[in-house]
A and B are shown apart, each in its own frame.
Chain A
Amino acid sequence: MKVLDLGTSSLREVNSVLQTATTGEFVVSNPQGAHALGCGLDAPVTLRVEGPVGYYCGGMNQQANVLVDGNAGTGLAENIMSGTVTVTGNAGQSAGATGHGGLVVVQGNASARCGISMKGVDIVVGGDVGHMSAFMAQAGALIVLGDAGADLGDSIYEAQLFVRGSTTSLGADCVEKEVRPEHLDFLAVRLADAEMDANPADFSRYGSARMLYNFHPDDVNAVEAAR
């Protein structure tokens, strides 16, 4: 295990070590809210950050297993491709934004726009998520053990949303859907992956009504011609 001290090394130096490593375990000490820490990793390394991080920690992650022992700022694991990014505390807005794959785990609460524009990532939040979460969410799953704020899943595409608690309101074209056995199986797997203790049967499922997928012109002339 190699310790990288952000109190004495620059962000570029620390990220360079992490980005060029092909394997191994790393610890970053004294993060002091640094932005863009551990972004662009592309190897099966393990990174543990001892303290809070700023924006975009674990951004565009590939393969790596990142653990933040503390809170995270805006854009945690944004555009994650694969691997896992976990925070033990709370996450700021836009956690897991546009993620294409992998797993993001927030053990505390996640702020607004959690999972915005997600494209295949799975996100598990132990607490609540803020307003406009899963906005324009395209693929993947957002699993919330607590409550969801206003306008959940606004303009959602094919992402799946699971909420154990309440939802303040659903956004445009987002509706509640039946929870089928395959969804219970999926939840059981992802909750286990996230090391969360919850009963899949307690979750409600939300997704797209698919009413905004296409424009619906009212072709008056065609109707008249057909008469």
Chain B
Amino acid sequence: MTGDWGLRPSHTFSQDVLAEIRRAANTGVYSIRGFGAKRQLPNFDDLVFLGASMSRYPLEGYREACGTDVVLGARHASEPIQIDIPVTIAGMSFGSLSANAKEALGRGASAAGTSTTTGDGGMTDEERSHSTKLVYQYLPSRYGMNPDDLRRADAIEVVVGQGAKPGGGGMLMGQKISARVASMRNLPEGIDQRSACRHPDWTGPDDLEIKIQELREITGWRKPIYVKIGAARPYYDTALAVKAGADVVVVDGMQGGTAATQDVFIEHVGIPTLAAVPEAVRALKELAMHRTVQLVVAGGIRSGADVAKALALGADAVSIGTAALVAIGDNDPELDAEYRALGSAAGYWDQYQAGNDPAGITTQDPDLAGRLDPVLAGRRLANYLKVLTLEAQTLARACGKSHIHNLEPHDMAALTVEAAAMAGVPLAGTSWVPGRRD
């Protein structure tokens, strides 16, 4: 019978669903992994630029100026951050990443004229010394938090949420809690660390306003204060962050990566980056704060096209995490045999929590970490950042813009009804924006 009927797969119970049911039955523990959402989501690929034509005048692709500089934090801080390109490196902790990986990120970002960000584990001397511009995250766990590092940071990012897990706290599995990591976090070695999901000394935007005041008092009102939110209710969260006094709002969509989170969280909480940006911009515009409070967008940014599209929707800059790790060597095909020996394959590796990363990036094992050459990896990241910027400039010039911030929603059309509705731009070939009455 089977020969006639063939093997008919179930869409409901697909092979990966079946495998997860078996895994759950075998262990009694939910699946924890790294990387970001793997399911198909509406994204920036669903938008296209229209380019110049009869009604638009393009700039010459290689010669004419197209500015890419961004100033972050001038609303209240006396020392705002000035970056040369509209791409920053997102928060990733020492602990989740090896010291060499953090150094590589610092080297690459510094060479490209942009900033890196600490993570849920404090600031190391290595990342401070290799990052010309370093954003210090202020997280619910407060691991390693101290006023000396606050003062030697270039900006402070109050983390309310993360795109991979809005409403969730950090995780770092015991394999990665080395003596140094444990010491920095005041934790016993080898525990499966689950850090707090909410701040210990403030609740809600009114408290946050006072917290931001304290951080400014401690740092003499010099440092920009970012507020990072996981994309869930970006319109309200952005408005409340502005009300609380943020200089910069960071919105992290659900494609944003993580070092270790429950799979069910990564795939089922939050909204896509594409859907979040217009809502955040709407809040800023209604408060007359667009471009006064900068918007940084993160979550699944891969190319200069993604950069340009996020900016055209109204962001001031973007942040990359997963793409930066790939640039420095994560999931490299040359390591395929080693990934396969661990039950994965190059391009599929998401076991950042396991601590046995063959690429030496998401590990605290000295031998594995030693595989990553931070100088070479830093050059790769700098090259990648350069390409992102050149691509974004190319698209901006094609739309006749002398600065990437001059890109606007009118420069784009959507390829799907969903993207048109989320981005608020017309479906290609029509003037129809779903959900808009005018």
Binary contact track A32-45/B, C-beta < 8 Å → 1, others 0: 00011001101000
B191–A56 touching, CB < 8 Å? no
| Residue pair B147, A217 in contact (C-beta under 8 Å) | no
Q: Is A55 in contact with B207, judged by CB distance below 8 angstroms?
A: yes
**Interchain CB contact under 8 A, B210 and A35:** yes
**Stretch in B20-28, B248-256, B270-278, B376-384 touching the partner:** B20-28
Contact with A along B4-45 (1 / 0, CB 8 A): 000000000000000000000111110000000000000000
Contact assessment for A11 and B210 in the assembled complex, using a CB-CB cutoff below 8 Å: no
In the bound complex, residues from chain B placing their C-beta under 8 Å from that of A219 are 26-27
Q: Which of A22-30, A94-102, A188-196 is the interface stretch?
A: A94-102
> What's the dominant secondary structure at chain A's contact region?
loop
Q: Is the CB of B191 within 8 A of A11?
A: no
Confirm or deny: A131 has a beta carbon within 8 angstroms of a beta carbon on chain B.
Answer: no
Report the Cα distance A125→B103, complex, angstroms: 44
Q: Which residues of B contact A130 (CB under 8 A)?
A: none
Return A110 CB to nearest CB of chain B, in Å. Answer: 13
Contact in complex: B200, A94 (CB < 8 Å): yes
The reply on B438 being an interface residue by CB < 8 A is no
Query: Are A213 and B142 closer than 8 Å at their CB atoms?
Result: no
CB pair B29–A75 under 8 Å, yes or no, is no
Contact B201 A40 (CB under 8 A): no
Residues on A with C-beta less than 8 A from B220 are 16, 19
Count residues of B near A (Cβ-Cβ below 8 Å).
33
| Residue from B142, B191, B218 within 8 A of A98 (CB atoms) | B142
CA distance A215 to B174 in the complex (A): 9
Partner among B27, B174, B217, B219 whose Cβ is within 8 Å of the Cβ of A214? B174
Known: A40-B217, A218-B28, A221-B26. A75 touches B145 (CB 8 A): no
**CB atoms of A119 and B147 under 8 A apart:** no
Residue B200 contacts which of A16, A62, A113 (CB distance < 8 angstroms)? A113
**In this assembly, does A220 line the interface, its C-beta being within 8 Å of a C-beta of chain B?**
yes
Contact check, A36 vs B141: say whether CB atoms are below 8 A apart: no
Asked, given contacts A74-B201, A74-B202, A98-B142, whether A213 binds B192 with beta carbons under 8 Å apart, the answer is yes
Given contact pairs A75-B211, A100-B146, A138-B186, enumerate 10 new A-B contacts (beta carbons under 8 Å). Answer: A15-B217, A54-B210, A55-B207, A60-B146, A74-B210, A81-B147, A135-B200, A136-B196, A216-B29, A219-B27
**A interface residue numbers (CB < 8 A to B):** 11-12, 15-16, 19, 35-36, 39-40, 42, 54-56, 59-60, 62, 74-75, 78-79, 81, 93-94, 97-98, 100, 113, 116-117, 119-120, 135-136, 138-139, 157-158, 213-221
